[in-house]
Structure 1
Amino acid sequence: MAADYMRQKLTNFTETVFPTNPTQENRQHHMIRPGNELVSSLPLQIALYFNVYFFPFWLLTCVVILALKFQHLEQLFQFVIITIYIVISGTEAMRLYLGYLGNLQERVPELAGFWLLTLVLQLPLLVFLLAASGGKPTPAEIGVHIIFLIFLLSEIVVGFFALKVMSRQQVMKFHLQEFDDILNPNRDQSESSRYEPLR
């Protein structure tokens, strides 16, 4: 009796703090059938979570240090570094959004886009910022670049395995759906006839 009371109070508190749409919640329960496995990657989600909070700190540090050393850089490196910061900043918001969407909602195209943006665009640009001696990197810049590089490398490795598992799961769901359609050929007709208007 006390356990039911506590469960009800906890449920009421949770619904007050985190309001949900009951029709959407019921629809989600119907979508997840028994036997379907959720394959979202927890390590990838943890890396994305901390990356979201670290990125503004990285950007602020880089902008402040660039403003301090801007006059001491060659004109070519002034242009290149500003361009790289703009590209990284614009890409990072889109990359993190695709990572969250692809991982939490198990969408393979979004997760693949996140992984490709990380591997093909963000990683080479960050390595260039670390390796280019003409940019005159300061110790603070090197420190935040290395932390950002660790985030990118971990997301590449974990994202690869998450993408592999998720794509395998989606292929299996597709084949199970085809198998289900073969076993129950009249199911689609009965469902469509149920929604036909009465004449």
Structure 2
Amino acid sequence: MSVHTPLPRNVRHGLASISGSLFIQNKTTDCGEHQSYHKGHEVMSSIPLQMALYFNVFFFPIWFMSEIIMLELKYFLLPGYYQFLLITAVTIITLIEILRLYLGYIGNLHEKVPELAGFLLLTLLIQMPLFLFLLTDEKILILPLEFAVRVIYVIFLNMELLVSFFVLRIMTRQLATQFYLHQTDDLENKIVPAKCSQVTIHRIKRSMIELQETDALMY
């Protein structure tokens, strides 16, 4: 049963190509809608990554509520452009975080390389810079509650970045190995029947020759 993913097919292929170019020449079947495993399949899902995602999901509403409350308290003390920047940053982080956590769950639990690569890129290119901006720019009047919550969230992001990088590396190489082994098995299955058919033809010809010789001796 295939798992629903919000990523379009061309985006999934692009993410799989990126991960393959980083770790190995990835030409695996994980880019498709279905993914088959051999009986001896080794589970590659990461328990540390899943734990980080699990606690991140529960901490996300706490961060969001604290940001809204603190923003309301200091909103009119900020310059106009910082008001716009804060609202924009919180909005982008909220929308991206929902998609990011969902991709992380699918990519890790179902061993999907494109989803896990998307999770890694969203964390590195969008969420981390925005959180560092909220954490380091003193002109936005960082309150103690904001500072504590943002530090915890940055710790989550760093943990997820580090673990997901290694998981994606292992997963890509493992799936590539399985793909090449599967291709080898298919090739052997095609060659063996051909050899068997040739042996059978030779046996039939030899039997026919023996029958002809027997008939000639009888006559």
Give the TM-score band, short-chain normalised: 0.7 to 0.9
Q: 45, 48, 65: which is aligned to 2:50?
A: 45
SS in 2 for 1:113: helix
Q: CA deviation at 1:183?
A: 1.1
Aligned partner of 1:81 in structure 2 is 86
Query: TM-score when scaled to structure 2?
Result: 0.70
Q: TM-score, normalised on structure 1?
A: 0.77
In 2: Cα distance, 1:115 partner to 1:40 partner: 15
Larger radius of gyration: 2
Question: Percent same amino acid at aligned positions?
Answer: 47
Question: 2:123 aligned with 1:145, yes or no?
Answer: no
Counterpart selection for 1:116 from 121, 129, 133 = 121
- State the distance in 2 between where 1:32 and 1:117 align: 28
Q: Distance in 2 between matches of 1:158 and 1:32?
A: 24
2:161 to 156, 171, 188: 156
Deviation of the 1:141 alpha carbon: 0.1
Paired residue total:
157
Runs of 5+ unmatched residues, structure 1? 1-30, 188-199
Q: Distance in 1 between matches of 2:89 and 2:174?
A: 37
Q: How does 1:67-106 map to 2 (within 5 A)?
A: 67-106=72-111
How far off is 1:185 after superposition? Answer: 1.8
Return 5+ residue gaps in structure 2 as ranges.
Answer: 1-35, 193-219
Please give the alpha-carbon distance, in whole angstroms, between the structure 1 residues aligned to 2:181 and 2:96. 37
Give secondary structure in 2 for the equivalent of 1:149.
Answer: helix
Match of 2:172 among 167, 191, 195: 167
More relative contact order, 1 or 2 (CA 8 Å, 6+ apart):
2
Other-structure match for 1:20: none
**Cα shift at 1:186:** 7.8
SS in 2 for 1:185: helix
Q: Deviations 1:29-87 (Å, cap 9, x if unpaired)? A: xx553321010011100000000000000000010010011010111100000000000
Letter in 1 for 2:142: P
User: For the residues of structure 2 that align with 1:136 and 1:117, how far apart are their CA atoms?
Assistant: 27
User: 1-side partners of 2:37 and 2:181: how far apart?
Assistant: 14
Deviating beyond 2 angstroms after TM superposition, the runs of 4 or more aligned structure 1 residues are 31-34
State the match for 1:21 in structure 2: none
Distance 1:177 1:165 in 2: 18
- Pairwise CA distance, 1:157: 0.2
Q: 2-side partners of 1:83 and 1:186: how far apart?
A: 61
Give the CA RMSD over aligned residues: 1.3
